[in-house]
Structure 1
Amino acid sequence: MEKRTGIDSGVELGTTIEVTELHDSVREDFGSPKFQKRLLLELQLAQQNALQNKLHITLNGTALNAQPIGLLASKSLKPVFIEEEFEVNNSVVFVKLYAGIAMPDPAKAGWYVYCNGRLILEADQTNVTGWRESGLESSEKDAGVQYHNDFARFRGYVYFESADTSKLPWNTTKTGVDVDTPIYRKVRGIMISAMTPVLGFLRKLTKEARETDETHFEEHVSRANLTAISELSTQTVFSYPEPPQDDKKPKPTMISFKRDPEEVKRVKEHLGVRTNREVGEKTYEYYMTMEEIQ
């Protein structure tokens, strides 16, 4: 390990870590461009806080880039931002929690947990962060929702900060969450409460796209901008507008029936349509017209 200093001022510029004696298998890994790229991306993600605070990090001469974390937000679509302080055995733990939506990506959906700027849990979709897992029993108070790709837009971020690192909810190797710490149990409950309305919104967004011709929720999502979490205002509950109620206009009714696939295929060709939904709509319209039903 080598510390570099300025030539005249003696001011420390940084630290260089160089490892020269590697096992053959490790040397092969580091010689692989794919491994180097994956390592760069993992370091970039794990050190986002440090990078955003202007720390300069390079890997084999390649600089890591800061990629600000953001959530979709607008005047009508407001992500959760909660700040709390917890006293833990005469020490203070500061917590910042964010929850909302971003671009759909199942690999990135879930909770991200940081302790003193270090990422210790990435895109978690397990019971550790309040999701329900198949095969696990959940108590009434702990009844989360099982992850599904309908929730691919969900993002949650929790930051624990403390001068006393022993009070942070990480394990002994500082590579994961210690779920049994009192501070984490408290915050996990807040995470579930913050996540629930976001998932409710995503259910409505999915249902709207699959079952109706309405675009109310989708329009609000498309008008929202990806906003850095550092720019978000305090918001204890995820907020979004419900569609306006029109008492004069009854809600559409769904009609469903099954037919032989070959018959349906021939009807599609005859009507010049491609989907089963269009077959149903066209045949319904035909019946209404032929029977002169107003």
Structure 2
Amino acid sequence: MQQGFEIKINGIPVKQHIYGVRDGQDISPYVHEYTDAETGVNVRIISGVAGTPPEDAGDPAALSKDTESWGWYVVCNDRVVLAGDKSERTIWGDDFPGWHPQYNGFVGLIFFTSDKPGELPWTTTKRQIDETLPVFRRATSFMRDATRKYLDYTNTRKVNLEKAKAVESSAAIKPITDIKVISVAPAPMKLPVFESAPKIRMGTVSYQQPLALLSKVAQSLGNSQMSYKQIGQKTFEYYVENEVGE
């Protein structure tokens, strides 16, 4: 369709879906291209942030949206033979984390190209991948590298969710066809880094007082049903406020 081919249903043109990933100042995709030494097959890998990771991994509504779009795509000689894969057929769960809805928003595409179709990792019908072929198994190590950083990011972005969403939305979706290989070595995925706030070391204060006195303090605090723990907390806060200050 990008080359001018048009599809119509009942006379209405079908809108083209452009596959792409976010590319900007703080976010950029993993890109790698190489020639498989054993078969001569050209292999090109692109992965990155295609959508927005879910805010709440426990929200079924958020996790189910557009879920079929995410995952790994395998393309052989410009034919998509596996789309949005989240199974062991690619990398998920094969000595690697299994797919989790928290990873929604991730898209990885691997392109195998050759003038010898028999060398490509697809079946004889050319409608499914043959994941057992060595050319594909060798590529999976790069596919894992192209995925790990995104999986880690879905956890670290929770530290500053609002800033993460702002950075993500500022990076425009770039079509896969516009992404160029700029070096022989893999270009790692670039994602923002959010550092956790330093943890405050805590201690426990514990002391005993006569029950009658504790009852009087609770009444003075306006709640005779306060627990001893609550009394201790309130009196400590009172002392800090009036004697220590900020």
TM-score by length of structure 1 reads: 0.59
Query: How far did 1:199 drift?
Result: 1.1
Question: Aligned residue for 2:88?
Answer: 127
Alignment match, 1:237: 188
Q: Residues 147-226 of structure 1 correspond to what in structure 2 (within 5 A)?
A: 147-205=99-157, 207-208=158-159, 215-226=162-173
Q: 1:289 to 1:146 in 2, by over 3 A?
A: same
1:153 to 1:291, Cα distance in 2 relative to 1, 3 A? farther
Bigger CA radius of gyration: 2
Distance 2:49 2:234 in 1: 42
Q: Work out the CA distance in 2 between the residues paired with 1:112 and 1:239.
A: 20
Please state how far the C-alpha of 1:219 moved relative to its aligned partner.
2.8
Q: Work out the CA distance in 2 between the residues paired with 1:96 and 1:83.
A: 4
Counterpart in 2 of 1:272?
none
**SS of the residue 1:66 aligns to:** coil
Please give the root-mean-square deviation of Cα atoms over the aligned residues, in Å. 2.8
Note closer, same or farther for the CA distance 1:233–1:118 as it changes in structure 2 (3 Å cut): closer
> Quick one: distance in 2 between partners of 1:78 and 1:288?
50
Q: Deviations over 1:14-40 (max 9, x none)?
A: xxxxxxxxxxxxxxxxxxxxxxxxxxx
Q: 1:288 and 1:117 mapped to 2: Cα distance? A: 70
Tell me the alpha carbon deviations over residues 59-111 of structure 1, each in whole angstroms, 9 at most, x when there is no partner: 5544343222111111111111111112445xx31121111112243221101
Q: Who is 1:93 aligned against?
A: 41
- For the 8 Å contact 2:77–2:114, the answer to whether it is kept is yes
The answer to which structure, 1 or 2, has the higher relative contact order (CA under 8 A, 6+ apart) is 2
Percent of aligned positions that are identical: 25
Rate the CA distance shift 1:251–1:226 in 2: closer, same or farther, 3 A: farther
- The count of corresponding residues between Structure 1 and Structure 2 is 195
Q: Deviation of residue 240 (structure 1)?
A: 2.0
* Corresponding position of 1:108: 69
Structure 2: gaps of 5 or more residues: 53-65, 203-232
Cα distance change of structure 1 residues 52 and 81 upon mapping to structure 2, 3 Å threshold: same
Q: Which runs of 5+ in 1 are unaligned?
A: 1-50, 133-141, 255-284
Distance, in Å, in 1 between the alignment partners of 2:102 and 2:36 is 34
1:83, 1:229 → 2: CA distance? 13
Change beyond 3 A, Cα 1:286–1:221: farther
Note closer, same or farther for the CA distance 1:287–1:197 as it changes in structure 2 (3 Å cut): farther
In structure 2, give the amino acid aligned to 1:115.
Answer: C
**Shift in Å, 1:233:** 4.0
Deviates more, 1:98-107 or 1:227-236: 227-236
Residue by residue, what CA displacement relative to the aligned partner does 1:220-278 show, whole Å, maximum 9, x if unpaired?
21221111122224352111232369xxx734689xxxxxxxxxxxxxxxxxxxxxxxx
Q: 1:88 to 1:251 in 2, by over 3 A?
A: same
Q: Which residue of 2 aligns with 1:80?
A: 30
- Alignment TM-score, normalising by the size of structure 2: 0.69
SS at match of 2:33: strand
